[in-house]
Amino acid sequence: RKEVEQDPGPFNVPEGATVAFNCTYSNSASQSFFWYRQDCRKEPKLLMSVYSSGNEDGRFTAQLNRASQYISLLIRDSKLSDSATYLCVVSQGGKLIFGQGTELSVKP
């Protein structure tokens, strides 16, 4: 079983749609959680950290469920510019473990 698992997609959605990504992690000792965004053939960049209480940044909402070892990302009112791959990332033992990424394509 992979340490961090994501649905690879692709998710194809129309502009304005709401889309949710899920991620599970296997090690209960994981301590910090993130969503990174990666545009085609570019370097990953931090989208948002994921805190135990859940957090929101504009159209983006992240949730963490430590008991179920589950992380989610909700994007509301999708824009064309949201098209990218979204990486679920977990810290563990002083290292970062990446999921394989979920590809999102937002169509006009």
Interface with another protein (CB under 8 A):
4, 8, 31-32, 34, 36, 41-46, 49, 87, 91, 94-101
Shortest distance, position 38 Cβ to another protein, whole Å: 9
Shortest distance, position 81 Cβ to another protein, whole Å: 20
Which three-class secondary structure state does DSSP give residue 80?
helix
Q: CA–CA separation, 34 vs 43, rounded Å?
A: 15
How far, in whole angstroms, is CA 2 from its chain's centroid?
16
By beta-carbon proximity to another protein, the closer residue of 34 and 83 is 34
